[in-house]
Amino acid sequence: MLYRKLQVLAIVLLASIAAAPLSAQTKSRKKTTSSSSRKRAAARKTTARKVRGRQGASAPAIPTARSTAPRTVASLMTDMTSIAGRIRSGQFGIMVVSLTRGDTLFSENAGTPLMPASTMKMLTSSLAFERLGPSYRFSTDVLQDGKLSADGTLSGNIYLRGDGDPSLSGRYLPGGPGAPMNYLADQMVSRGVKHVTGDVVGDASAFDDEKIPQGWMSRYLQAGYAARVSGLSLNENLVWVTVTPGGAKLEPATAAIPLVSSVRTVSGGGASLSVRRQGNGTILVSGSIGSNSPPRRFEYVVEDPPTFATGALKAALVAKGIKVDGGIRLGKTPANATKLVGIQSPTLDRIISAMNRESINHFAELLMRDATRGPQHDKQGTVANGQSMERSFFATKVGADSSTLEIHDGSGLSTLDRVTPRLMVQMLAYAHRASWGPWFHASLPVAGVSELLKRRMRGGAAQGNLHAKTGTTNDVIGLGGYVTALNGEVIAFSFIYNGNDRWTAKSMIDVMGTTLANFAR
């Protein structure tokens, strides 16, 4: 018991470390991150499509159920069967195992392949941790194929080589969405670059060219949670059109997207704006905005991420006073090119913590492909390679039957993904024993305390105790993770529901989670 209490304390401490700033500089970044998150949320509420508030029907009446406090495995099974049986349609898949004693406490359809929704991110996390390690960092570099003369002229092209970094944005840097490209431009200035005679070339060859995973529904594709996938990505492949009384601008600024504004400034604090994207990518902004109006932001999913990022680097170079004679294009970095400057990501544990706590699909898509590439970059990041590697990982390391595992993306957004609750719990058991297990634990939201579980399972034994990843789509409700029972046993569980009665399923999952926290034998 003392060991377990120390282990839980260590996990909580790691969670606080993962969320806490690492230096005085990081403290200022954390403030910027919060501001950036608010801006991102605001932008997503006011998209260029003028999304209106939904007039959806209220949640249907949910059958009443209360958590129990079983004192034997038999009574736990009886109670769990009763609670899970409250759903009125669809199918539950459930697996509950004591990691302390190694026995199965409850199962229902545990071997049935089901759509996992965002609980898939736990599989992506485990493979990324296993292949790369918690301290791994990505490096997005600028390389040159020519020489830099004493007068600051760089003869030739420069190459922006993507490393599949999902965090290349203003999330971890001060300065907003354009911060990474401004950082690279500042570094080039410090190296004495004043003039580039060639082109700015974007290299996205770390991944293949599949920007939209199979199984993503077409209605998702203009939403920020379904941004395009690329080995060279910037600002989570979203661009904001920000309109103020002073005019309109893109965030981040990029030479890849023309912006044409005819917005008039009028008196007052209101705004009447039209923002449209044409077939050639040009964004047109028209209408009026009041002189006392706050900024109005509109979000677009970037259709061509590597060109977008390459154009952002060129825009940053020009803004810093570096003359660029050429244009922007895509291509592979020559083998003889030499590194000029670069920017490193935060460590992988921090990236995975953000991914799981906020359920960021973009992070998951890139990390699945990054894990496939490995630290030596000996494979290209593709879904096909990812599926093969995941199956091998589960078969050889986890010891699970992966024959029914279907992986078509890293986030669980694909309707073609299939995972069994048994495999999910086997993965959780492996993660619990792995050297990177504490970082995996710390990345999961905590019931009644943090992120997507903040308002769930409050006031009971699960609050502050149950660590789990959520999963939600129109047809799926899922929850998987760990909870410590009343007698100190560590329990791994996977609840996956597929069907239309998801309001009931979500409520029953919370009841079952609290029941597991109350369990003792």
3-state secondary structure 48-85: CCCCCCCCCCCCCCCCCCCCCCCCCHHHHHHHHHHHHC
Query: What pLDDT does residue 64 have?
Result: 77
CA distance 341 to 492: 45
Q: Is residue 3 part of a domain?
A: no
Structure tokens at 61: 């009446």
CATH of the domain at 116: 3.40.710.10
Task: Please confirm whether the linkage preceding 252 is cis (ω < 30° from 0).
Answer: yes
* Terminal CA-CA length for the chain: 14
Question: Of the candidates 326, 329, 325, which has an alpha carbon nearest to the alpha carbon of residue 310?
Answer: 329
Our count of domains for the chain comes to: 2
CB neighbour list of residue 68: distance below 8 Å, 6 or more residues apart: 75, 79, 515, 518
Say yes or no: 199 and 223 in one domain: yes
Residues sharing a CB contact under 8 Å with residue 202, sequence separation 6 or more, in sequence order: 159, 160, 162, 232, 306, 307, 309, 310, 313, 328, 329, 330, 331
Rounded Cα gap, residues 360 and 269, in angstroms: 34
- Out of 344, 374, 389, a domain closes at 344
Cβ proximity of 202 and 310 under 8 Å: yes
* 59 found inside a domain: no
Residue 13 lies in a domain: no
Question: What distance in Å separates the CA atoms of residue 280 and residue 105, rounded to the nearest whole number?
Answer: 58
Q: What is the pLDDT of residue 353?
A: 98
For residues 176 and 249, give the distance between their C-alpha atoms in angstroms, rounded to a whole number.
13
Give the CATH number for residue 311. Answer: 3.50.80.20
**Distance from the Cα of residue 443 to its chain's centroid:** 12
466 and 353 in a common domain: yes
The answer to whether residues 418 and 288 belong to one domain is no
- What Å distances lie between residue 157 and 224, 230, 312, 412, 451, CA to CA? 33, 22, 16, 39, 44
Report the chain's C-alpha Rg in angstroms: 25
Distance of alpha carbon 212 from alpha carbon 215, whole angstroms? 9
Q: Tokens representing 250?
A: 């893109």
- pLDDT computed for residue 61 by the predictor: 76
- In a shared domain, residues 274 and 398: no
How far is the C-alpha of 200 from the C-alpha of 315, rounded, in Å?
10
Residues 289, 415 within the same domain:
no
Of 344, 373, 391, the position where a domain reaches its end is 344
Domain shared by 152 and 125, yes or no: no
Q: Which residues is 202 bridged to in the sheet?
A: 160, 330
Q: So what's the pLDDT on residue 420?
A: 98
> By C-alpha distance, which of 404, 414, 388 is closest to 115?
414
Same domain (yes/no): 98, 242: no
Are residues 456 and 472 in contact, defined by beta-carbon separation less than 8 angstroms?
Answer: no
328-330 and 200-203: which strand pairing? parallel
242 and 314 belong to one structural domain: yes
Note whether residue 375 is domain-resident: yes
Does one domain contain both 366 and 218?
no
Q: What is the pLDDT of residue 36?
A: 41
Please answer whether residues 520 and 100 qualify as being in contact, where contact means their C-beta atoms are separated by less than 8 angstroms.
no
Do 357 and 310 have their domain in common? no
Helices 120-132 and 361-373: crossing angle in degrees, nearest 10, is: 40
Q: Which of 298, 320, 344 is the last residue of a domain?
A: 344
Cα–Cα nearest to 349, from 411, 442, 432, 428: 442
Q: What is the residue range of 489's domain?
A: 70-134+347-518
Is 7 within a domain? no
The DSSP secondary-structure symbol of 406 reads B
Per-residue pLDDT of the chain (521 residues; tens, 9 = 90+): 444 444 444 444 444 444 433 333 333 333 333 334 444 443 333 334 433 333 444 566 777 789 999 999 999 999 999 999 999 999 999 999 999 999 999 999 999 999 999 999 999 999 999 999 999 999 999 999 999 999 999 999 999 999 999 999 999 999 999 999 999 999 999 999 999 999 999 999 999 999 999 999 999 999 999 999 999 999 999 999 999 998 999 999 999 999 999 999 999 999 999 999 998 899 999 999 999 999 999 999 999 999 999 999 999 999 999 999 999 999 999 999 999 999 999 999 999 999 999 999 999 999 999 999 999 998 999 999 999 999 999 999 999 999 999 999 999 999 999 999 999 999 999 999 999 999 999 999 999 999 999 999 999 999 999 999 999 999 999 999 999 999 999 999 999 999 999 999 999 999 999 999 999 99
Provide the residue type at 484 as one letter: T
My answer on whether 195 and 99 are in the same domain is no
Alpha helices (H) in 191-260, listed in sequence order: none
Domain-located, residue 63? no
26 in any annotated domain? no
C-alpha span between 96 and 103 (Å, rounded):
9
Same domain, 165 and 292: yes
> Is 160 inside any structural domain?
yes
